[in-house]
Structure 1
Amino acid sequence: MAPPPVVTGISPKEGPPGTRVTIRGEFLGASATDLIGLKICGCDCLLSAEWKSKNKIVARSGPCKGRGDIIVTTRSGGEGTSTVQFRGYHESIGPVKESAVWVEEAAPPSVPWGRRPMSPTAYTPPDPLGLSTEGDDCKFPEEELNELFPDGSGKLSDDNFQPGWYLLEHHSNTSFEDLRAGMVFLQRKVESQKEGQLSFLKANTGAVMDQLDRLVLLKNMFEEDQRKNGKEPLPSLQAAIEESITLADSLFSEILSRKENADKTREALSLLTRHKFLFQLPASIDKNIRKKEYDLVVNDYTRVKNLFGNTDVKLFQKILAEIDKKIEDLKEKLHTRMKTMPINVQEQTKYIRLLVSLNWEGDAAWTAITSRKDYLLGLLDKVKDHFKQKEDQENADKGKRKSKAEAEGAGAGGWSGTRAAWCGAACAALASELAALWPLARRYCAGDLAGAPNAPGRHADLKEMIIKAVSLFAEHMRACLMGGSGGAAPGAVDARLVANLRHLREAYDSLLKLDLPSQPLSIVEQVIFEYRVHGMSVFLARALRRVKALPEHEDWKIEEFSDYGAITCLPRLLDTYLSEALSSTHKCVVWGGRREGALLAPGGAPAAALQRHVQHALLAYAAALRGLALTHSDDTDFSNTSLSVALDQRLEEAQPAEGARSWQQRLLIAGANAQYTRRIGLPRIADMFDSYEFPKPTQALQAAREALSSLETTIAETYLEHKGDPLVGTIEPSMYMGRHKIDSDALVDDARPYVYEIINNLIAVHAEVDSVCGPASSRYVRDICETVCEELARLAACAPAPARAAAFRARLEYTLLRLACADHLTRKAENYLVEALAGLPPLTTDEEKKHMDKLVAGFKKRMDLQLASLNCNMETV
């Protein structure tokens, strides 16, 4: 509903009836048909109104008198208001004033002396007082005169003449002395008329005598005519005329009949010549239709309807009926061609104009728009069906040559050549058809297409059409491009993703040029964004699959000796896989096109997906290392055997092939890989994200560090379980092996053999760990030393109070073990040894102390090589 009209200005502001008034204001109607009422001072002026725009109307005032409002009424806004007024007044008609009314030409009845003026229209009653009348600016207001004299008049010739009205109207500003002089003039004038007509005759005696002579002459001539022709001359004259007519008819009857026939023939030929256009129009219509010159047909048809549309001549009606039948056939033909797709917009617009010109029943423009919309939807479905059928055929052909799994891997997903072609064809179809549909729809809404109704509901329908077409396109593209990663090679995936994105962005750019509403544009923009996110997920998912397949690539060959031990190919492959995924993501999908948002905006879902995928890949790497480290088939039990003997026995029983690794070595290598990745690999991955300007995966890196750290602990515990437990298990049996007893006063000269066995076992473990872990081997040796010290403390606590010689020997053994493992003892291990020594009586004499120092020095000299092997310089990691 539009606002009510408001009149804010008029020009001119006053005038007589018929004045051309320009009315200005706001909301004066959306069109000429919207204006349904116009009143000026209460008079209806709609018939003369000319609607110019919603702010201007031109009309002619009616027979109004006085001031009044200008009221405009519209169909859309109702009755309006006026802030200005128009004053109407009536003018007296003079000889030089144009007028559309009849001026009475009869002389006024009360003219002095009874004389007629020379020109009736030039008559102006003189002032009876003999004074000059005042100008219009001195006149008394007419409205007040009407109120003072409701039934009177100021005209001298009217029956209801009021002298007071006349004086106020013509002499309102005349002085009293002048009015008195005028009164004297009027009295003198009346006295002069009392003499009557006698004075008039005296002054005009010659003219009166002349008129009497003329009257006598006329009387004599009339009497002479009666004597000659009688009193009734008309019957004889009528008889003579009738006789002459009868004679003429008898003489010229044959000539007149031939003339009548000739006139009829001439009239028929003249009719054929004059209306040659009508009689030849049916053949002309057929000829122009064959030549596809439809504009000529429309022009001729419009012309003949204007000339003969209301004719009563049956011949003309028959020809018009034949023409109407041909026009109806032409309408159907044009309607069919307008709906038949494909067709360009110019030709379709031409057919719309022709149908409107031919008064086709229905909305031709709307029919054309719906036909083009249906064609677009059908074209998208047809493209989809065509490429789906082609893809199924390709998969069937591949299935004949390969296994079913290989065929599905090669043809599935959005990276096949068929689906890339599908994407390009669908984008081209959408861009081309919307480039035709949307301008046609805009012209329809703007009313540029002749005959298009300005219905508000059509705008919503047109918008819904565009949204439906774009939504169908988006649905097809999601099914085409986001169906899976497929089995294509990495290079093919990158190339086809870039090609598909180019097709989508070209289609999007074409829609931007059409100035479509934001809703359909956002649908296509969302598809592009989702495909970019899908491409990033595909790259990262491919990296995840390759990381999960790392155990298949592990050959346990040492590629590098780092500060953390022997490193195989796994850390390098992890870097390679993630680098390729991030590089492909950066190259293909990170940078957006026109009006596209940032893919990895902070806090967005794609950035979270990137973090999640990277975390999955890193955790999968940790899981792969865990599987490689903890999976083994070595079930040999060496729980009651010396570890060094067990190692020699294993080497003798099973000689591995070149490059083969024992399970313990694989366990240590896996630990070295985990530690190297945690310390070196993860910071390198973080730098990789910074180089591509990606958000750093802090949470993923932290989870990976925790997983790798946990794996390192698990590997250390597992190694301790399989190496330390057998070593610790041999201590107690070896300690009491041989039932060594010593007298309380005997001199101890050496430690028991179990001490040397422990040292040899630790050397064997150290050698194995050092061969794999290098400087990082200290952790494993420390753990085993701590376990050994704990076992010695336990045995010391469980043993009864020893004799003096036995206590000296126990102190010597603990001292030698402490000396041998000095570089590997933790604080906890030191505490265990201190606890074991605390249960022994101290050395009281200098002789015992010197003897102890001698034995320790001899041990150092004798075991120098072993001690050097066990306590070689190692960095604590």
Structure 2
Amino acid sequence: MGPPPVVTGISPKEGPPGTRVTIRGEFLGSSPSDLIGLKICGCDCLLSAEWKSKNKIVARSGPCKGRGDIIVTTKSGGEGTSTVQFRGYHESIGPVKESAVWVEEAAPPSLPWGRRPMSPTVYTPPDPLGLSTEGDESKFPEEELNELFPEGSGKLTDESFQPLWYLLEHHSNTSFEDLKAGMVFLQRKVEGQKEGQLSFLKANTGAVMDQLDRLVLLKNMFEEDQRKNGKEPLLSLQAAIEESITLADSLFSEILARKDHADKTREALSLLTRHKFLFQLPASIDKNIRKKEYDLVVNDYTRVKNLFGNTDVKLFQKILGEIDKKIEELKVDLHTRMVTMPCNVQDQTKYIRLLISLNWNGDAAWDAILARKEYLMCLLNKVKDHFKQKEEQETNDKGRKSGRDSGSGVWGAGRGTWCGAACGALAAELHALWPLARRYFADFAGTTADPQRQDQLKEMIIAAVELFSEHMRACLLPAGGGAGSGASSGVGADVIRARLLANLQYLREAYDSLLKLDLPSQPLAIVEKIIFEYRVFGMTVFLQRAHRRVRALPDKETWRIREYTDYGAITDLPHLLESYIDEALSSIHKCVSWGGRRESSLLGAGEPRAALHSHTQQILLAYVAVLQDLAMQDADQEFNNTSLSVALEQRAEERGAARGGARGGAGRAWQQRLLLAAANAQRTRLASLPHIAETFERFEFPKPALALQTAEEALSNLESSIAETYLEHKGDPLVGTIEPSMYMGQQRIDPDTVVEDARPYVYEIINNLIAVHAEVDSICGGGGGGGGGRYVRNICETVCDMVCEELARLLRGAVPPRAPAFRARLELALLQAACVQHLTPKAENYLSETLKTIPPLETQEEKRRMETLLQGIKQKMSLQLASLNCNVEVI
């Protein structure tokens, strides 16, 4: 990339367009192809540029005016700069300046109507002496100049130009020396123009050649005209004129011959023309009727009645009779068109005016109102029948298949189309009927209107709106009274919401359309009621959908543990309940909770709020029933626990559950399923119900306090029932094994024998208690002091009460010898130490009462030996004792 061009000098420095300018400078291009741009005063002059060297360029200036830079652009250096400027100007052509074009010197002619052009060209020739003209204050008075030169003028372009006038007008105060200098300037200018004739022709060669071409063309046209018409064409024109005069005379003589006959005919035609309107009216009526230009027919008929209505001429009466017959046929046709639907209001109004103008016998406007009302009723029935037939046909074609949305109610896609068509028909026809009725009472009926017509009109509109309301109930609301009738449980919530919103939108659009008509309050109240009922129906739809989904929860229960909480191990059931209710409330909030224009609040008070709480209570109680059914599925099974340890039974059931655990928890033992149901109930009661209450508050719905309280009581009762069932199947067999184990082998001991250990039945009781505690704690136990810990404690305390009661029964009797008494005290002390954190006052009372029946330890040695044995056994069973007393909430 080289340095940019720089222009340092030009010659000449000014001139008119087309001036040959020599440009000098530096880096003006290395070759002609390197020069790609040249602008003089902003005008592109590249086409006329001639590159001479890198320091010189010759070009012609463009149509520029004023001062400007000379900018040179090259490929190698780009756009350059200029240190000098060129001034362009446009020369004024005067009478002493040679020009290649004609200069209009005369003043512009006035227009024919006396106006001059808007912007005439004002030409002011320059001073021929080259002197500046004087101001107005130094000019010679024009009145004196007119007196000195009465036939002269001071304008250079006038034929009566007087030099003295010009000098007195423009140079009255100029010195003689200046006038002599001006004379010399004028002579030099004239001589210069004479000397430059050849250069002038060269500079204006194009204009001169164009003028020569025009002269040659004029000469050729003149010669062609002479060849065609001769040198004197007026002779042939004169002969043609004379021939035409002769022919005109012959034609005129023939016309005069027929003049008398024409005058007679004219008199007859004038008589016929006087009554032409009457005779041609029947044909004119037929023609206008075919063109449907009924206004012309009415105007012509009114006119002929005014002119010939009272005539005694039989011919006229015959024609009038024919006209009346055609008008009667037209009346019947117009009335038929007016009452034939569909017909827009504009056409009906036109027909009504025509019938009134033609004196129709009857109330044409009221007939139109009746026809439109009947058409509305018929249209609503046709819409209903059409969609009913279509629905039946689809049902017959597809058959009744599960999961297919072809039923009635809001779920069918065809029902939504039905709703939209009915709403559109009602809005469109009432928009035609109501303005027509208002115009009837304002214009058509006038003072002759029947006072009862307004009541009849009101009844018409109410009947139409009631019919629409009935159809919408049949279309959108269930026929059997249940909101879920005809609704497929497989339809997704999004589909339900979309269809509910679409149908509700149709109803609201129809309602808004009726509001714009300023209808009476009764029909508007009918539409408001159907909208409100549909909103209540939409709310019920979502609630009953949630109710059906809750009732179907047994099919979704896999007994797979979802998470461990403070309430124990829970499955998916509580979360599903919350999600179903949350989805139902969210759908209600999005679809039908908030009303439209002039609609009342859905859940403000009354039946909708009661229905919301009732359905919520049904959903929660259905969930409780599901938990109860799941928990009690195997409660009626018979288990032989008379001789089988509960711990051994538990291990056998755990092995069976482990084999089925790979199938997602479906193979869990019945005790585990029972406890899982209890944990789910506890979690629902303590956590899910508050969450549901928060959901109601989040959507600004009234809180269902009674439903929540009822569900809480039902869940609490279910927990108690599950605990009783579990204790029945676990506690009773455990207690039943104590007596057989205690006397197993009929072991007898000598009164003086030294007792070294407790009998096996005590260890079996402790192991059975550990097994029950482990099973309940693994499912119902929860960390953090939640409700699960209390549930485990309650079951373990109840089992301990049962065990202590059974031991009190077995050991209460005859006073044992010394060694058996020592052993019995050792066994009771070991059992009390093992169950220390699960003993209730009732159990401790059983143990204390039993100890009272056993002989006490007599010597200190026996007491020390008892303590030593007890500590040794507790040390050996430290793991078992720790597992039995772990995770127990102390209150």
> Structure 2 length as normaliser, TM-score?
0.65
Structure 1 residue aligned with 2:207 = none
Matches within 5 A, 1:498-647: 498-601=501-604, 603-632=605-634, 635-647=638-650
d(CA) in 2 for partners of 1:304, 1:470:
47
Amino acid at match of 2:814: P
Change (3 A) 1:800 1:271: farther
State whether structure 2 residue 880 is matched by structure 1 residue 866.
Answer: yes
- Contact 2:345/2:436, CA 8 A, preserved across alignment: yes
Matches within 5 A, 1:4-83: none
Structure 2 residue aligned with 1:210 = none
Amino acid at match of 2:402: E
For structure 1, the residue ranges without an aligned partner over 5 or more in a row are: 1-264
Change (3 A) 1:651 1:354: closer
* TM-fit CA distance, 1:780: 2.4
**Which whole-Å deviations, capped at 9, do the CAs of 1:410-466 have from their partners, x for residues lacking one?**
44432222111111111111111110011111222x341256842122112111111
- Contact 2:568/2:679, CA 8 A, preserved across alignment: yes
d(CA) in 2 for partners of 1:868, 1:509:
75
For structure 2, the residue ranges without an aligned partner over 5 or more in a row are: 1-264, 479-485, 783-787
Structure 1 residue aligned with 2:846 = 832
d(CA) in 1 for partners of 2:870, 2:620:
52
- Partner of 1:406: helix, strand, or coil? coil
Structure 2 residue aligned with 1:467 = 462
State whether structure 2 residue 378 is matched by structure 1 residue 371.
Answer: no
* TM-fit CA distance, 1:504: 1.0
Q: Which moved more, 1:430-439 or 1:643-652?
A: 643-652
Structure 1 residue aligned with 2:61 = none
Matches within 5 A, 1:595-744: 595-601=598-604, 603-632=605-634, 635-650=638-653, 656-657=659-660, 658=662, 659=665, 660-742=667-749
- Contact 2:408/2:475, CA 8 A, preserved across alignment: no
- Contact 2:403/2:491, CA 8 A, preserved across alignment: no
- Contact 1:554/1:570, CA 8 A, preserved across alignment: yes
State whether structure 2 residue 298 is matched by structure 1 residue 298.
Answer: yes
- Contact 2:741/2:760, CA 8 A, preserved across alignment: yes
d(CA) in 1 for partners of 2:284, 2:651:
117
* TM-fit CA distance, 1:746: 5.0
d(CA) in 2 for partners of 1:580, 1:373:
44
Amino acid at match of 1:758: I
Structure 2 residue aligned with 1:788 = 803
Amino acid at match of 1:369: I
Structure 2 residue aligned with 1:333 = 333
State whether structure 2 residue 793 is matched by structure 1 residue 778.
Answer: yes
Amino acid at match of 1:398: K
- Pick aligned residue for 1:443 from 436, 439, 443: 439
Amino acid at match of 1:449: F
d(CA) in 1 for partners of 2:395, 2:593:
32
d(CA) in 2 for partners of 1:651, 1:594:
64
d(CA) in 1 for partners of 2:477, 2:845:
64
* TM-fit CA distance, 1:653: 7.5
- Contact 2:391/2:406, CA 8 A, preserved across alignment: no
Matches within 5 A, 1:199-214: none
- Partner of 1:379: helix, strand, or coil? helix
Structure 2 residue aligned with 1:283 = 283
- Contact 2:582/2:695, CA 8 A, preserved across alignment: yes
* TM-fit CA distance, 1:827: 2.9
Structure 1 residue aligned with 2:320 = 320
Change (3 A) 1:316 1:384: same
Structure 2 residue aligned with 1:762 = 769
d(CA) in 2 for partners of 1:268, 1:832:
148
Change (3 A) 1:282 1:783: same
d(CA) in 2 for partners of 1:863, 1:773:
25
Change (3 A) 1:667 1:652: closer
d(CA) in 1 for partners of 2:599, 2:655:
69
Amino acid at match of 1:656: R
**Which whole-Å deviations, capped at 9, do the CAs of 1:708-747 have from their partners, x for residues lacking one?**
1111111111111111110000112222233344555555
Structure 1 residue aligned with 2:173 = none
> Structure 1 length as normaliser, TM-score?
0.66
- Partner of 1:448: helix, strand, or coil? helix
d(CA) in 1 for partners of 2:778, 2:491:
43
Change (3 A) 1:356 1:654: closer
* TM-fit CA distance, 1:841: 4.7
Amino acid at match of 1:793: A
Amino acid at match of 2:611: A
**Which whole-Å deviations, capped at 9, do the CAs of 1:634-658 have from their partners, x for residues lacking one?**
5431133221233345556886232
* TM-fit CA distance, 1:274: 4.8
Structure 2 residue aligned with 1:166 = none
Structure 2 residue aligned with 1:142 = none
Structure 1 residue aligned with 2:451 = 456
Amino acid at match of 1:604: G
- Contact 1:281/1:323, CA 8 A, preserved across alignment: yes
- Partner of 2:569: helix, strand, or coil? strand
**Which whole-Å deviations, capped at 9, do the CAs of 1:212-260 have from their partners, x for residues lacking one?**
xxxxxxxxxxxxxxxxxxxxxxxxxxxxxxxxxxxxxxxxxxxxxxxxx
d(CA) in 2 for partners of 1:527, 1:651:
60
d(CA) in 1 for partners of 2:809, 2:411:
67
d(CA) in 1 for partners of 2:271, 2:323:
19
- Partner of 1:561: helix, strand, or coil? strand
Structure 2 residue aligned with 1:229 = none
Instruction: Supply the RMSD in Å over aligned alpha carbons.
Output: 2.5
Change (3 A) 1:575 1:627: same
Percent identity reads 66
d(CA) in 2 for partners of 1:622, 1:872:
31
d(CA) in 1 for partners of 2:657, 2:380:
69
- Partner of 2:361: helix, strand, or coil? coil
- Contact 1:395/1:407, CA 8 A, preserved across alignment: no
**Which whole-Å deviations, capped at 9, do the CAs of 1:324-343 have from their partners, x for residues lacking one?**
11111011000000011111
- Partner of 1:456: helix, strand, or coil? coil
Amino acid at match of 1:822: V
State whether structure 2 residue 507 is matched by structure 1 residue 497.
Answer: no
d(CA) in 1 for partners of 2:406, 2:845:
65
**Which whole-Å deviations, capped at 9, do the CAs of 1:504-548 have from their partners, x for residues lacking one?**
111111000011111111111111111111111111111111111
- Partner of 1:566: helix, strand, or coil? strand
d(CA) in 1 for partners of 2:763, 2:403:
66
d(CA) in 2 for partners of 1:500, 1:405:
25
Change (3 A) 1:266 1:868: closer
* TM-fit CA distance, 1:365: 1.0
Structure 1 residue aligned with 2:234 = none
Matches within 5 A, 1:180-199: none
